[in-house]
């Protein structure tokens, strides 16, 4: 049996649907909110993800865990001590689950980490790899890195396989946050000052991410490895907006404002992090993922954008 945490989340729900569709194993989902029924999936509620959570009921009979639950990165964090709160959930909560999983006889623990473990940006043409020295960015990235360290140590002590996946920006049908806002602005024809951004960024379609998770559940060579994941095709912010607009059946109205000018203005307004994600490059190399697992992205960027746009437009009707 495979246990999936974060079952009501964007990624967790998709993992459940994909693995259930494979029909290769029984599934149990952990969720704090009601979960729309999926045939063959048991649902349990263990409360908040924290250092004292009791996972015994959820782990009974489980031989693999996909840990997708987390305190996610937020732009305007209202916590008094954001790093402490990220550590409570993403580090202590994760390691508490992993220790109980190992004690319960779980054989493989798949941890959905973040590219922020590597850092926030790359120079054009220079891609992050899983062998790079980590330089975690911000409280979220730090918490994910510390969780990775704890999981690797636990794997050595207990013999439980640990697989770490570091996704870049995930998009797909049902995506929310900034990506959904971008589609809304494009669909409304709002002019955006992003017509002259010459960066390069890796993205990963939800379908590609969950396909890699499914591969890691069964592939023997995945044990105790760290994998990068993307669509295998990088794009600039300007080009991405144009491609998303085309998928929406419209044209992007982009003003050719230089990236340096945008970053300067955004920093003055206290929005430097947002400008960095729009203007800086962030590329990952999935060569190791391809080589070790024989894995290739299932869908290309344009096909995945088309599906995302169709879902978005259907939701407007």
Annotated active-site positions, please?
A: 140
Report how far residue 254's alpha carbon sits from residue 22's, in angstroms, rounded to the nearest whole number.
42
Contact 151, 160 (CB under 8 A): no
Task: Tell me the residue ranges of DSSP E strands in 7-131.
Answer: 27-30, 41-44, 64-67, 108-112
Contact 128, 168 (CB under 8 A): no
Report how far residue 305's alpha carbon sits from residue 206's, in angstroms, rounded to the nearest whole number.
11
If one counts every other C-beta atom within 10 angstroms of the C-beta of residue 185, the result is 17
**Cβ-Cβ contacts under 8 Å for 287 (sequence gap 6 or more):** 129
Residue 37 burial (10 A CB sphere; 0-12, 13-18, 19+) = exposed
> Number of helices (H) and strands (E), helices first, in the chain?
12, 9
The Cβ-side half-sphere exposure at 51, using a 13 Å CA radius, reads 8
Report how far residue 89's alpha carbon sits from residue 209's, in angstroms, rounded to the nearest whole number.
23
The Cβ-side half-sphere exposure at 130, using a 13 Å CA radius, reads 21
**Cβ-Cβ contacts under 8 Å for 279 (sequence gap 6 or more):** 197, 199, 237, 259, 260, 262, 263
Q: What angle do CA 247, 251, 256 make, to 5 degrees?
A: 120
Task: Tell me the residue ranges of DSSP E strands in the chain.
Answer: 2-5, 27-30, 41-44, 64-67, 108-112, 161-167, 169-171, 203-205, 226-229
Concatenated DSSP letters of 67-87: E---PPP-SS---SSHHHHHI
């Amino acid at each position: 049996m495979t246990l999936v945490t974060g079952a009501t989340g964007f990624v967790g729900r998709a993992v459940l649907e994909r693995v259930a569709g494979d029909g290769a194993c029984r599934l149990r989902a952990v969720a704090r909110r009601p979960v729309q029924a999926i045939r063959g999936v048991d649902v349990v509620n263990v409360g908040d993800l924290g250092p004292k959570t009791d996972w015994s009921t959820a782990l009974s009979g489980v031989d693999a865990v996909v840990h997708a639950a987390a305190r996610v990165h937020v732009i305007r964090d209202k916590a008094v001590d954001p790093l402490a709160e990220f550590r409570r959930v993403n580090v202590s909560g994760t390691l508490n689950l992993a220790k109980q999983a190992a004690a319960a006889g779980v054989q493989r623990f798949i941890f959905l980490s973040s590219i922020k473990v590597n850092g926030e940006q790359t120079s054009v043409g220079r891609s992050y790899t899983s062998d790079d020295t980590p330089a975690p960015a911000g409280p979220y990235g730090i918490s994910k890195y510390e969780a990775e360290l704890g999981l690797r140590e636990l794997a050595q002590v207990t013999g439980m396989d640990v697989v770490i996946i570091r996704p870049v920006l995930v998009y797909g049908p049902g995506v929310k946050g900034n990506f959904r806002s971008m589609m809304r602005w494009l669909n409304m024809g709002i002019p955006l000052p992003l017509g002259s951004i010459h960066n390069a960024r890796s993205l990963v379609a939800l379908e590609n991410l969950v396909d890699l998770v499914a591969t890691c559940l069964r592939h023997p060579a995945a044990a105790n490895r760290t994998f990068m994941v993307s669509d295998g095709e990088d794009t600039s912010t300007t080009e991405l907006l144009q491609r998303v607009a085309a998928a929406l059946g419209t044209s992007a109205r982009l003003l050719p404002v230089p990236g340096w000018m945008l970053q300067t203005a955004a920093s003055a307004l206290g929005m430097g992090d947002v400008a960095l994600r729009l203007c800086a490059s962030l590329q990952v190399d999935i060569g190791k993922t391809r080589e070790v697992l024989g894995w290739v992205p299932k869908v290309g960027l344009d096909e995945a954008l088309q599906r995302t746009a169709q879902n978005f437009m259907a939701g407007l009707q």
